[in-house]
Amino acid sequence: MIEAGKLTEEFGSLVFNDKIMRERLPKDIYKAVHKTIEKGTHLELDVANCVAAVMKEWAIENGATHFTHWFQPMTGLTAEKHDSFISPSDDGTIIMEFSGKELVKGEPDASSFPSGGLRATFEARGYTAWDPSSPAFIKDGSLYIPTAFCSYGGEALDKKTPLLRSMEALSEESVKMLHLLGYKDVARVSTTIGSEQEYFLIDKDFYKKRKDLLLTGRTLIGAPATKGQEMEDHYFGVIKPKVSAYMHDLDEELWKLGIPAKTKHNEVAPSQHELAPVFETANIAVDHNQLTMEVMKKVADKHNYACLLHEKPFEGINGSGKHNNWSVCTDTGMNLLDPGKTPAENIPFLVFLTAVIAAVDEYAPILRLSVASAGNDHRLGGNEAPPAIISIFVGDELAEVLQSVVDGTDYQSAAKVQMSMGATVLPHFTKDNTDRNRTSPFAFTGNKFEFRMPGSAVSVANANIVLNTAVAEEVAKLYAKLSGYGPEELKKNIKDILRQTLEAHKRVLFNGNGYTDEWVEEAAKRGLPNLKSLPDAMPYWISDQSIDLFTRHHIFTKEEIHSRYEILLENYSKSIHIESLTMQEMVRKDLTEGIVAYQKDLSKEVVQKKELLGDGSCKLELGLLKALDDASFKMGQALTKLSDDTKTAEGLTENLEAASYYQATVLADMDELRKYADEAEALIPEKYLSYPTYGQMLFSLR
């Protein structure tokens, strides 16, 4: 346990961070590495050799015997292969070695990672390349080196490579724009991300007894508990002692890894919680979020919990997301989405805000796709999560500022209102000019946007790749319109250019309640896409618009786009396939076993009781027997249909066709089967079930 007084020393104690490098690297080497990190310049091998030697010493001092290139293949998880530092000598002893070459390049076999057809099976070689902009760290006795992963032919096979490319694209276009606007000292712009992570904790023993949770991460059957989240008593509720101990342990593990865990609280659903870190540069934030998810699970295991990261582990109560707080910041310290005191006069802010609005409207289908997965599709459009329609909340004050740009009028800022709560002992403070909005998928929150659609289980890289690239594109378009003007003319015309862009995209702005049916209708009238599932959205990924966007900014080649298309579809179908088989097995074996045992006992009871009390008795037992018989009959029919349709799905070889079939038919079959399974389960006493119920799982945390 870290003592509170030691926290400043212990934070990042397992990280090869800037401070360690400054202390341990020769000055010129440190400068070279620093330049690479800050400016994105190329790193020479002699520098790498020196860094490797110092890194090895530091790692060994901190208990590492191995090193690993750590990367993020298209599985959505992380991958690692460990090599020890040992090198045998002639005299039977060993020395510990680690070269610059080993630091900068790895050669994992790429043939067992998803490639979506990019790599023929005989081309097994892949490469990992050190990403010096994300610090190495020590975990479980190994030195972890964050790396990018590509095929023998140089195509990206991971999430980091396109993320880094998209950050560079946005930087390049933004710097050009800022120079035009007179901010000549800006050399680089970076995206910052703070991703709030939601999760569920349940008792590990319960978890182990549920095949659906073990194999698919979500419950596939399960009658609702008699209590759900209707009392609104969990959000920000008192954290129970055992859960609090878990959260404390989790914070400490994260802090040691240099992850700035900041906020923790109970979430809306029972047994649901959230952790939010302080924001960081996008690339590091994405790495840290991957690590956070892993550490959450590991620490949970120690505390006899299972940590569920699935987007919809339980039917009928809130699912989990990963709010992606996103902003753009210059190397001179300017947050380009900070409106300042006079937003209407803040030209860089208005330019970037306009670019974001245009980007989100123009590329809504691709942005929707960036958060699509079999898991997240269950959450989006549910009663608790943003709908699949993408709109932007800017709040009243900014809406007025934007309107004044559109109308060509001067904006008068409303005077700040003093807040008084009616009791003099309470402090007075000024009220924010804008309320919060919790239903918008893409909300302006003061000096950043909060993209609330990403799912809890997946990497946030995809969402940020699309966001960065789309905004880069819109900044570039604005630049093209503005760059012909001299400085004086620019001042005169800039609002007019912004007005044109805002006019074209204002349909995406919506300050109301995004969870209502009226909004779904209104959005359709405005022509905003409502792409409910991954297969619905997928064709947009390979559209000309998408290919133009990503190839123009060198984020993906056409081949890489197509490979990702195949991978996403395949993953989707595979997930539902596994769910279908798991559900069939649970119904056929576990639930049926419970139904049969209970029916048997009830029948025995009826026979015995009737002997004693005569024919008029046993009304309750007979009613239960009949209800169970009805439900299990329908359950049997639905099971047969699911089984048949799943076999049909297995025969479909074209990826989009298969995914669409899984979505439209297999998922619908699963819903139908679940209806009767849950009806039956609700009638059976818990002791007849080999797996725990919703009530047991959701309300047992102490």
- State the residues that interact with ligand ADP by CB under 6 A: 192-194, 196, 263, 276-279, 323, 325-327, 335, 445, 447-448, 450
Q: How far is the CB of 361 from Mg ion (least distance, A)?
A: 23
Taking CB within 5 to 8 Å according to partner kind, which of Mg ion, ligand ADP, none is near residue 371? none
Rounded distance, CA 180 to CA 497, Å?
14
Residues 6+ positions from 379 with CB-CB distance below 8 Å? 311, 312, 319, 320, 321, 385, 455
Q: How far is the CB of 148 from ligand ADP (least distance, A)?
A: 23
Which residue has tokens 């001092």? 61
Taking CB within 5 to 8 Å according to partner kind, which of Mg ion, ligand ADP, none is near residue 36? none
Q: How far is the CB of 196 from Mg ion (least distance, A)?
A: 5
The one-letter amino acid code at 418 reads Q
Taking CB within 5 to 8 Å according to partner kind, which of Mg ion, ligand ADP, none is near residue 192? ligand ADP
Residues 6+ positions from 167 with CB-CB distance below 8 Å? 190, 191, 282, 283, 468
Q: How far is the CB of 360 from ligand ADP (least distance, A)?
A: 16
User: Cα 452–72–33 angle (5° rounding)?
Assistant: 100
CA dihedral 188, 194, 195, 200 (to 10 degrees): 160
| Residue number, nearest CB to Mg ion | 323
Residue among 465 and 698 whose Cβ is closer to ligand ADP: 465
Tokens representing 319? 């699912």
Question: Please, is 485 exposed, middle or buried when counting C-beta atoms within 10 Å of its C-beta (0-12, 13-18, 19+)?
Answer: middle
Rounded distance, CA 363 to CA 351, Å?
18
Extract long-range pairs of 398-404: CB within 8 Å, 24+ residues apart. 398/339, 398/343, 398/353, 398/434, 398/444, 399/509, 399/511, 401/339, 401/343, 401/344, 401/350, 402/353, 402/502, 402/506, 402/509, 404/344
Judge contact between 440 and 386, C-beta under 8 A: yes
Taking CB within 5 to 8 Å according to partner kind, which of ligand ADP, Mg ion, none is near residue 280? none
Give the residues lining the site for Mg ion (CB under 5 A): 323
Q: How far is the CB of 440 from Mg ion (least distance, A)?
A: 11
Q: How far is the CB of 267 from ligand ADP (least distance, A)?
A: 12
Taking CB within 5 to 8 Å according to partner kind, which of ligand ADP, Mg ion, none is near residue 335? ligand ADP
Residue among 246 and 451 whose Cβ is closer to Mg ion: 451
Which residue has tokens 């753009």? 328
Residue among 341 and 702 whose Cβ is closer to ligand ADP: 341
CA proximity to 193, closest of 463, 592, 509: 463
Taking CB within 5 to 8 Å according to partner kind, which of ligand ADP, Mg ion, none is near residue 193? ligand ADP
Q: At what angle do helices 395-407 and 347-362 cross, to 10 degrees?
A: 100
Q: How far is the CB of 468 from Mg ion (least distance, A)?
A: 20
Q: How far is the CB of 585 from ligand ADP (least distance, A)?
A: 40
Q: How far is the CB of 454 from Mg ion (least distance, A)?
A: 12
CA proximity to 588, closest of 639, 518, 550: 639
Residue among 55 and 453 whose Cβ is closer to ligand ADP: 453
CA proximity to 113, closest of 103, 123, 105: 123
| Residue number, nearest CB to ligand ADP | 194
Residue among 116 and 194 whose Cβ is closer to ligand ADP: 194
Q: At what angle do helices 487-505 and 461-482 cross, to 10 degrees?
A: 130
Residue among 281 and 592 whose Cβ is closer to ligand ADP: 281
Rounded distance, CA 144 to CA 106, Å?
13
Residue among 446 and 695 whose Cβ is closer to Mg ion: 446
Q: How far is the CB of 470 from ligand ADP (least distance, A)?
A: 17
Taking CB within 5 to 8 Å according to partner kind, which of Mg ion, ligand ADP, none is near residue 346? none
Residue among 435 and 521 whose Cβ is closer to Mg ion: 435
Judge contact between 11 and 258, C-beta under 8 A: yes
Pairing of strands 322-330, 261-266: unpaired
Q: How far is the CB of 193 from ligand ADP (least distance, A)?
A: 6
Q: How far is the CB of 333 from ligand ADP (least distance, A)?
A: 11
Q: At what angle do helices 487-505 and 347-362 cross, to 10 degrees?
A: 30
Residues 6+ positions from 357 with CB-CB distance below 8 Å? 392, 394, 501, 502, 505, 506, 508, 509
Tokens representing 448? 């950043």
Residue among 261 and 638 whose Cβ is closer to ligand ADP: 261
Q: How far is the CB of 370 from ligand ADP (least distance, A)?
A: 17
Q: How far is the CB of 464 from ligand ADP (least distance, A)?
A: 11
Judge contact between 635 and 677, C-beta under 8 A: yes
Residue among 283 and 584 whose Cβ is closer to ligand ADP: 283
Pairing of strands 442-444, 392-393: parallel
Residue among 323 and 564 whose Cβ is closer to ligand ADP: 323
Neighbours of 412 (CB within 10 A): 9
Q: How far is the CB of 319 from ligand ADP (least distance, A)?
A: 17
Residue among 85 and 393 whose Cβ is closer to Mg ion: 393
Q: How far is the CB of 436 from ligand ADP (least distance, A)?
A: 7
Residue among 323 and 674 whose Cβ is closer to Mg ion: 323
CA dihedral 398, 400, 401, 405 (to 10 degrees): 140
Residue among 190 and 693 whose Cβ is closer to ligand ADP: 190
Residue among 451 and 662 whose Cβ is closer to Mg ion: 451
Residue among 127 and 279 whose Cβ is closer to Mg ion: 279
Residues 6+ positions from 378 with CB-CB distance below 8 Å? 218, 311, 312, 319
Taking CB within 5 to 8 Å according to partner kind, which of Mg ion, ligand ADP, none is near residue 592? none
Rounded distance, CA 357 to CA 326, Å?
14
Tokens representing 154? 């140089």
Taking CB within 5 to 8 Å according to partner kind, which of ligand ADP, Mg ion, none is near residue 377? none
Q: Where are the beta strands (DSSP E) in 89-243?
A: 94-96, 105-106, 126-130, 137-139, 142-151, 189-203
